[in-house]
Structure 1
Amino acid sequence: MERYDWKRILRANILKLKIVGLWPSGDESYKPNVYTLWAICSITIFNFGHNFFQIINMIFIFDDLHAVTQTAYVTFSEVAALLKTYYVIRNMPTLKELMVTLSSDTFQPKNARQIKMVKPSFFFWRVNYVMYWTMSVGAMFFWSVYPFLDKSAEEYPLPFLAWYPWNTKTSPMYELTYLYQILGLLFIASAAISVDTLIAALNVYIGAQFDIICDDIKHLFDPGSPSEGFNRKLIGIVKHHREIIRFAANTNKFANWIVLAQFCHSAGTIGITLFQLTAVAPFSSEFFSCLSFTFSMTVEIFMYCWFGNEVEVKSSNVVYTVFESNWLDTSMEVKKNMIFFVMRCQKPVKMSALDLFYLTLDTFMRILRAAWSYFALLHQVSSR
């Protein structure tokens, strides 16, 4: 059977990560070469610099609630994106090891039935991927053009409120600063979205491997299978299960701090964005940018929680699949080995952020409820 290319769905993701300096070539981490120099320059200038100037500006406008909320919901997300960039670079060896494991023989589907079985999960990931990018591109587009579309009394308006050590009210510094903000936004958004969808895809891979191992167990004792091969095939299944657990642990190791940073700021950011929707002119370009950003943040959290929840559900299915297989007529030795395997699979795999937050649908609902609470608090303070 032809080898199945698991990384095919990640080609667009990997290309974007390469452009922003977050994917060294091959299966190794950064080396002293031209690409590393590009990564240092692009991250420093566009990721760090863009965040730095906006954070400095927040110090000067801290006593203005409207101005702070106008800046905070974007700045918080961009700071979180900068943290994602840092932890991707820091954990690059772990990430490349995951890619190597994904291409190993152990993770290969055994037949066309198993390939067909895992395709719906990847299709749903693609749907979320397209929705996430569509909402994010919509927000970036309206942020980029609203100074022109919304006739403001301010002269030389910029897409984002920021402080710069030069005069942005004169040409050509205004045009250059405007271009810098747009490029910074594109680099930060591309890095953040690609990392988010990459982590979601890793969770899809884990769930797909549990689907494959469940299918292997279900058909382990099919009529016509040689009885002397039961133990050999069962040992292969146990090794496969152990590799999946190791893959999941490495995924958690890579994504721990990224998911923690995302979850910590998501509720507040969504709440501030909802409040900002009530403060801007209805149906203006700024209004649509806030609306698109709210939807993109919601899809982002949903991807984390849905596919993390799928890992837990599919890993817990392994135990029940054992009892669906035709093991009753096998030898006592095989039965003992099956019982031993069931005992190993009792605890389902849970994807988490340092064991503080679990990637489940319950967590998703908690974040949405917290976001609404923040919105209600800001609306009440603003009304007073």
Structure 2
Amino acid sequence: MDKYDWKVNIKMNIRTLRVLGLWPKGDETYNLDLYALHAAILLTVFQLGHIFFQVVNVYFILDNFEAIIGTIYILLVEMLGNFKIYYLIKNMRKLKQLLKILETDIFQPKTVEQKAAIDASVFFWKVIYQTLLIMCCGCNLFWALFPLLDKSTGERRLPFLAWYPYNTQISPLYEITYVYQIVSVGVITTIHVNIDALLAAINLFNGSQFDILCDNLRNLHNLAVSGGINDKLIYCIEHHKQTLSYAKKCNDFLNLILFIHFFVSGTSIGFSMFELTLVVPFSNEYFAFLTYGFAMTVQIFMYCWFGNEVEVKSRNIPYAAFECEWTDFPEDVKKKLLFFIMRVQRPVKLSAFSVIFLSLDTFMRIMKASWSYFALLHQVSAKK
């Protein structure tokens, strides 16, 4: 069987991040070259610049509660993007090593059925990724169109509240600033979506290793490994050991990102729901907030689902070991198998600093927290 290329599933994410200056060639990290200069200019102009003008504007609207909320919920996510970029650049070598480990023989699928199981998981990942991408594009489109179609104020509006050291009401400064904001948000959104999809894919690959291990255990007699049944069992035990090590490395890499991401996303969803109560129903602005909230929800769901899959699939290991034809094994192999089954009773749980676990239960908790933020903001607004 040909060697399985894990990276081919995420080649679009890698290519996109490379264009945006966030993926140096091959297995390299950043060097003092033209690519690093390209990344610095692109991120400074469209990422840091856009956020800077919005942060400065907060000072001028401190007395306007609704305007503050309308700016903060976007700023939080944009700053989260800054953190993801910094963390990705700082740990680029670690991330590429995680992908490199998957190329080793022990992590390769051994049968067509195992490859099909991986492809099925990848298909679902692609569905979630494309759904998130469509929602983000729709949200950006509504943000871009709303100021052009809204004539209620009689003024030229920009898609986002921001301060600039010039008069944005006159041409061509208005048009230039308008395009700058849309391009900046497009860059920020693209970075967010592709980093999230890439990190979720790492968890998907992690979970797929447990699928491969379970299938190898069920078909221990037919496992394509040289040696007798004892050697094949030792191979599976070694695969399990390395899979646990890989899961720990993945968890260590994701710890900080997940911890901050869940807090920011939960808060932003609550803020976006509050904004829905302030705008005209079924207007462009209304749909912008609606798609934004859905996009943030899918973003969290993607992490929680594939983290939950790691736990669910790791629970299947003792059952898979029991399903093999162990009754024909020599006594010493039976003892090793029994000891292995006893050792793999505890499932693998991915988490953020062992505080927030990646599970569907956590997803529901974040949704409940978002509703609490919305209820609090609505209550505070009603008293004003």
> Does the TM-score normalized on the shorter chain lie above 0.5?
yes
Q: Distance in 1 between matches of 2:161 and 2:377?
A: 20
Indicate the SS of the match to 1:98.
Answer: helix
Give yes or no for contact 2:6–2:102 (8 Å, CA) kept in 1. yes
User: In 1, Cα distance between the equivalents of 2:12 and 2:224?
Assistant: 41
CA contact (8 A) 1:272 1:375 kept: yes
Q: How many Å separate the matches in 1 of 2:254 and 2:31? A: 23
What is the distance in 2 between the residues matched to 1:200 and 1:318? 22
Question: Given the alignment of the two structures, is residue 336 of structure 1 paired with residue 335 of structure 2, yes or no?
Answer: yes
Return the offset for 1:173.
Answer: 2.0
For the residues of structure 2 that align with 1:242 and 1:227, how far apart are their CA atoms? Answer: 19
- Identity rate of aligned residues, in percent? 48
1:155-170 alignment, distance < 5 Å:
155-170=155-170
Q: Provide the residue aligned with 2:177 in structure 1.
A: 177
| Local SS of the residue matching 1:77 | helix
Do the aligned residues in 1 keep the contact of 2:147 with 2:159 (CA within 8 Å)?
A: yes
Cα displacement string for residues 320-343 of structure 1 (whole angstroms, at most 9, x for unaligned residues)? 211111112211221222133224
2:150 matches 1:115: no
Gap change, CA 1:228 and 1:89, over 3 Å in 2 = closer
Give the direction of change, closer, same or farther, for the CA distance of 1:226–1:57 in structure 2 (3 Å limit): closer
Counterpart amino acid of residue 193 in structure 1: V
The residue identity in structure 1 corresponding to 2:380 is V
Normalising by structure 2, we get a TM-score of 0.96
Q: What's 1:382 paired with?
A: 381
Give me the TM-score of the superposition, normalised by structure 1.
Answer: 0.96
RMSD, aligned CA? 1.7
Distance 1:2 1:78 in 2: 42
Cα distance in 2 between the residues matched to 1:8 and 1:226: 26
Q: Which runs of 5+ in 1 are unaligned?
A: none
- In 1, Cα distance between the equivalents of 2:246 and 2:224? 30
Contact 1:150–1:284 (Cα < 8 Å) also in 2: no
Contact 1:88 1:254 in 2 (8 A): no
Deviation at 1:302, TM superposition (A): 0.6
For 1:130, the equivalent position in structure 2 comes to: 130
Residue 197 of structure 1 and its aligned partner are, at CA, apart by 0.8
Shift of 1:228: 5.7
Residue matched to 1:30: 30
Structure 2 CA distance for partners of 1:225 and 1:293, relative to 1, 3 Å: closer
CA distance in 2, matches of 1:324, 1:147: 62
Partner of 1:328, secondary structure, is helix
CA 1:230/1:274 → structure 2, altered by over 3 Å: closer, same or farther?
same
Q: Which runs of 5 or more residues in structure 2 are unaligned? A: none
Name the CA distance, whole Å, in 1 between partners of 2:140 and 2:340. 50
Distance (whole Å) between structure 2 residues aligned to residue 91 and residue 340 of structure 1: 37
In structure 2, distance between residues paired with 1:129 and 1:164:
35
Give the Cα–Cα distance (whole angstroms) in 2 for the partners of residues 164 and 357 of structure 1: 39
Q: State the secondary structure of the residue aligned to 2:228.
A: helix
Tell me if structure 1 keeps the 8 A contact 2:226–2:232. Answer: no
Q: C-alpha separation between the residues in 2 aligned to 1:38 and 1:243?
A: 38
**Conservation of the 8 A alpha-carbon contact between 1:6 and 1:103:** yes
Conserved? CA contact 1:221–1:327, under 8 Å:
no
Corresponding residue of 2:369: 370
Deviations 1:152-208 (A, max 9, x none): 415231110011223322222222221221121111111111111111111111111
- The match for 1:21 is 21
SS across alignment from 1:323: helix
